[in-house]
């Protein structure tokens, strides 16, 4: 893998296999896409026993706050699960906030 490519696991409620593949500079769209496809196959094989069950949502540099390419990768069971995962990606910031709240309250309970 290219040294400027990074793979970040970002599990969220409903999206346990969610990962982001990103470049640390512009001009690496092909490398990000190749790494995302490879990761998708690996996740799908590990979770569901077949390499074809995944979704890659590729974003160029202008589609985000930072100006370099990235891809969202999620392993899926079937078409219905793919639709659910894509809908959850639309609200991923809220899911992340809920997860932080859940983890924070779990920590407070165990400290009591």
44: pLDDT confidence band, cut at 50, 70 and 90?
Answer: very high
pLDDT at residue number 64: 59
Look up residue 45 and give its two tokens: 């094989």
pLDDT at residue number 69: 87
- The total domain count for the chain is 1
Structural domain that includes position 43 = 5-111
pLDDT tens profile 12-27: 888 999 999 999 888 8
Identify the residue with better confidence: 103 or 83: 83
Task: Give backbone dihedrals phi and psi of 85, rounded to 5 degrees, phi first.
Answer: -60, -45
- Nearest Cα neighbor of 36 from 3, 64, 76, 8 is 8
Q: pTM value? A: 0.83
pLDDT at residue number 96: 87
Contacts of 93 (CB under 8 A, 6+ apart): none
pLDDT tens profile 55-91: 999 987 665 566 788 999 999 999 999 999 999 999 9
Eight-state DSSP code of residue 13: T
């Amino acid at each position: 893998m290219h040294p400027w490519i990074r793979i970040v696991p970002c599990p969220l409620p409903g999206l346990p296999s969610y990962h982001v593949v990103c470049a640390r500079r512009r001009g690496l769209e092909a490398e990000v896409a190749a790494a995302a496809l490879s990761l998708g196959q690996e996740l799908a094989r590990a979770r569901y026993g077949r390499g074809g069950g995944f979704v890659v949502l590729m974003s160029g540099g202008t589609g985000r706050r930072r100006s370099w390419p990235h891809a969202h990768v999620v392993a899926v069971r079937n078409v219905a699960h793919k639709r659910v995962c894509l809908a959850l990606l639309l609200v991923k910031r809220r899911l992340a906030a809920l997860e932080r709240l859940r983890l924070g309250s779990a920590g407070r309970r165990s400290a009591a």
